[in-house]
């Protein structure tokens, strides 16, 4: 088994995988539109809960699919069936992502459950090729059972919502899908996973998300006055700064040759992408005077802090000479706290607020860049 692992060729990202990513960018864009349904300048807690459920569900589906393809994808007809079958079902998720989500709840959850069952079925079909191999069959069984239990929870969510109008099963399904693979993981699965391919797939999805963020800032050009141009430039600078920080860690810190099952790495990216989607909406709120000042400041600051917390979580996968030390994390914590306090104090001045955000984003990038340079020189 070890010899086979050492001799296996690097898995390449296939065109079909990139096409598959596009439907997720579209669906998440639909999710972001939910946040623009405000009532008296305030974001509805119900709408926000729907947004969180829909966004995490979609990112998690991508996560499960990518993980399967990494371990067992062969660019075969069966793989294409998995990808394009789930792409079609994703349209139902996108269709149901609206402010009146409750009217599409049943259809949404049926599509969600079928996608999970589809991926589980692929694992179970693959199992016949690994009879007698405890490592592979153990991994396949754990992932298939996780997917089927989550699909069951999604199915139960339909009855729960129709009877009581609550969404606890939907939330439980997402939490179970995140926790179960991490809790029941087998570290020896690293012999199955091609971490180089997995990290590249995660990076490409992040890049697509950044592209969606840049497109979203185009809304600033609708009025074409000095104020709109200022906010457009600042929003663009924020997106670029966030991208540079991610790129710096991906290119210089993450050890893509590491032997790991990659579950934690994918978990981190679920919340990285979630935070980026939040930041996209928060930047759009910056120029919207109808949205409550305090609420949109908390949303922007919280989203940025979540992004950087999980971004620095990638340090767990750092090269031996590129581990971020305690002093770095203390500096980041101090900078984050100062940014949060300053933003809340200046919340009534959007022109200054967005400039402070630019300084914060590039301050972190500069510290990160200097830290990397010192490590390379040692």
pLDDT in tens, 275-323: 998 998 888 877 766 777 778 888 899 999 999 999 999 988 988 777 7
| Residues 363, 234 within the same domain | yes
Mean pLDDT along residues 100-129: 91
How many domains in the chain?
2
Clarify whether residues 63 and 126 are in a common domain.
yes
Are 159 and 306 in a shared domain?
no
When pLDDT is averaged across residues 68-82 and rounded to a whole number, the result is: 83
Residue 165 inside a domain? The answer is yes
Match 């300053």 to its residue by tokens: 342
335/227 same-domain check? yes
90-93: Cβ within 8 A, 24+ apart: 90/23, 90/24, 90/27, 90/58, 90/61, 90/115, 91/23, 93/27, 93/54, 93/57, 93/58
Both 123 and 221 in a single domain? no
On whether both 155 and 70 belong to a single domain, the answer is yes
Please indicate, yes or no, whether residues 139 and 262 belong to a single structural domain of this protein: no
On whether residue 3 sits in a domain, the answer given is no
pTM given for the model: 0.89
pLDDT of residue 191: 85
Of the three residues 172, 193, 214, the one that is the final residue of a domain is 193
Considering the domain architecture, whether residues 132 and 110 belong to the same structural domain is answered as: yes
pLDDT in tens, 22-67: 788 778 777 777 776 666 667 777 888 888 888 899 999 999 999 9
Q: Is the predicted pLDDT of residue 333 greater than 70, yes or no?
A: yes
> In this structure, is residue 250 part of a structural domain?
yes
Residue span of the structural domain in which 312 resides: 194-378
Out of 178, 193, 208, pick the residue that ends a domain. Answer: 193
Number of other residues whose CB lies within 10 A of the CB of residue 338: 13
For tokens 């972190």, what's the residue?
A: 364
**Is residue 69 domain-resident?**
yes
Give the domain-ending residue among 146, 163, 193.
193
């Amino acid at each position: 088994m070890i010899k086979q692992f050492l001799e296996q060729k690097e898995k390449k990202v296939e065109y079909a995988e990139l096409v598959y990513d596009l439907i997720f960018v579209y669906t998440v864009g639909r999710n972001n539109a939910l946040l623009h349904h405000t009532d008296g300048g305030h974001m509805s807690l119900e709408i926000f809960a729907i947004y969180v459920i829909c966004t995490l569900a979609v990112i998690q589906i991508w996560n499960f699919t990518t993980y399967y393809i990494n371990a067992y994808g062969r660019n075969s007809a069966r793989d294409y069936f998995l990808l394009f079958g789930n792409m079609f079902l994703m349209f139902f998720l996108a269709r149901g992502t609206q402010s009146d989500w409750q009217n599409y709840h049943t259809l949404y959850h049926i599509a969600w459950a079928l996608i999970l069952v589809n991926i589980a079925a692929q694992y179970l079909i693959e199992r016949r090729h690994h009879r007698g191999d405890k490592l592979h069959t153990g991994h396949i069984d754990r992932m298939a059972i996780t997917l089927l239990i989550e699909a069951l929870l999604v199915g139960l969510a339909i009855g729960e919502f129709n009877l009581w109008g609550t969404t606890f099963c939907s939330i439980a399904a997402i939490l179970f899908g995140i926790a179960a693979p991490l809790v029941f993981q087998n570290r020896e699965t690293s012999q199955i996973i091609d971490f180089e391919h997995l990290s590249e797939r995660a990076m490409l999805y992040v890049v697509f998300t950044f592209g969606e963020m840049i497109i979203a800032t185009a809304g600033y050009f609708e009025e074409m006055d000095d104020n709109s141009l200022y906010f457009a430039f600042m929003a663009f600078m924020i997106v670029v700064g966030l991208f540079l920080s991610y790129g710096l860690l991906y290119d210089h810190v993450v050890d893509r040759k590491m032997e790991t099952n990659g579950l934690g790495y994918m978990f981190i990216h679920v919340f990285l992408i979630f935070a980026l989607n939040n930041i996209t909406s928060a930047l759009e709120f910056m120029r919207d005077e109808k949205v409550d000042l305090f609420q949109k400041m908390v949303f922007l600051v919280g989203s940025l802090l979540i992004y950087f917390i999980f971004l620095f979580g990638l340090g767990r996968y750092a090269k031996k000479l590129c581990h971020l030390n305690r002093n770095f994390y203390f500096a980041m914590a101090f900078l984050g706290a100062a940014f949060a306090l300053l933003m809340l104090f200046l919340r009534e001045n959007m022109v200054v607020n967005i400039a402070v955000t630019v300084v914060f984003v590039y301050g972190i990038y500069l510290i990160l860049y200097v830290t990397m340079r010192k490590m390379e020189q040692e």
